[in-house]
Amino acid sequence: MNRRVAAVRGLFDYLVMSGEIEVNPVPSPRRSGGLRQVRRGVLGHVGGRHRGSDGRLVRQSRPLPESLPAEEVSVFLADLDRHRDRAVVLLMLLGGLRASEVRSLRLADIDVGMGQVMVTGKGGKQRTVPVDRAFFTALGSYLRLERPAGLTTPECFVVLRGPTAGQAMSEAGLRRVFRTHRARSGAQRVRPHRLRHTFGTELAAAGMDLLVLRDLMGHAHAETTAAYVHPNAETIAAEWSRVRAVQR
């Protein structure tokens, strides 16, 4: 419904700019000033949309982040036969990195001594993420046994075979790894972003402060991080009792 409304609105925006009609009859989201945004130029009706003003007249529910059960993740991990692939998956699962952040991670961004990585996320924003020791164990095996010696490629994870060996792992290459091991292991729901969601959901369930979790995951808005909190009746009752005890 929203797509249809947006299409009709775009048509009438064009008719207004071309002089066929004077006013667009299709309702438009209002800004703080209460005025319709003016778009200039012949193609003004298709450009420059801002966050929160994308023309949706029908409210759409936002799906909750989908996490994975521990059993399914374990089955998938057990099927990985390369240290590189295991390190990649663990970085998403134990560090909450996006697929693009894993692929762009450089060797210089990894601090083994401090047990953390420097991540460049959306918009070029950087954040420091501590990662569990299991990742660094897999990473060490990959660097020692699989990554070609003397390679000058700055990215950490590279292609290991074929004509592009030694080049940074591509998006298609990463998708191929997940597709192959989903088929072999039967863990059909394991995908990069669900591993990231699993990381966020588990930390939120453990009680991590949402502002800390927001910075850890590189979210621009706290509302995005809040989606990882799924309080049940027992959690609500326990939190209410805790607050009442403090007030007394």
Distance CA 24, CA 44 (A): 14
Q: Do 101 and 82 meet the contact criterion of CB atoms below 8 Å apart?
A: no
Question: How many other C-beta atoms are found inside a 10 Å radius of the C-beta of residue 208?
Answer: 16
- Residue 168 φ then ψ, to 5°: -60, 145
pLDDT of residue 67 exceeding 70 = yes
What average pLDDT is seen over the chain?
Answer: 86
pLDDT bin (cut points 50, 70, 90) of residue 49 is very low
- What per-residue confidence (pLDDT) applies to 231? 63
Long-range contacts of 70-76 (CB under 8 A, 24+ apart): 72/187, 72/189, 72/190, 73/187, 73/190, 73/195, 73/198, 75/185, 75/186, 75/187, 76/181, 76/182, 76/185, 76/187, 76/190
Alpha carbon 239 to its chain centroid, in Å, reads 29
Distance CA 78, CA 181 (A): 10
Reading the block at residue 169, the tokens are 């792992």
Percent of the chain with pLDDT over 70: 81
pLDDT of residue 217 exceeding 50 = yes
pLDDT of residue 38 exceeding 60 = no
Residues annotated as catalytic are 98, 122, 193, 196, 219, 228
pLDDT of residue 63 exceeding 80 = no
- Residue 112 φ then ψ, to 5°: -65, -40
Distance CA 41, CA 99 (A): 38
- What per-residue confidence (pLDDT) applies to 44? 54
End-to-end CA distance of the chain: 52
Least confident of 46-50, 117-121, 149-153: 46-50
Distance CA 23, CA 36 (A): 11
pLDDT bin (cut points 50, 70, 90) of residue 131 is very high
Per domain, the residue ranges of the chain are 2-46, 70-210
What CATH superfamily classification does 70-210 receive? Intergrase catalytic core (1.10.443.10)
- What per-residue confidence (pLDDT) applies to 33? 40
Percent of the chain with pLDDT over 90: 61
pLDDT bin (cut points 50, 70, 90) of residue 146 is very high
Half-sphere exposure of 37 (CA within 13 A, CB side): 18
pLDDT bin (cut points 50, 70, 90) of residue 171 is very high
- What per-residue confidence (pLDDT) applies to 230? 67
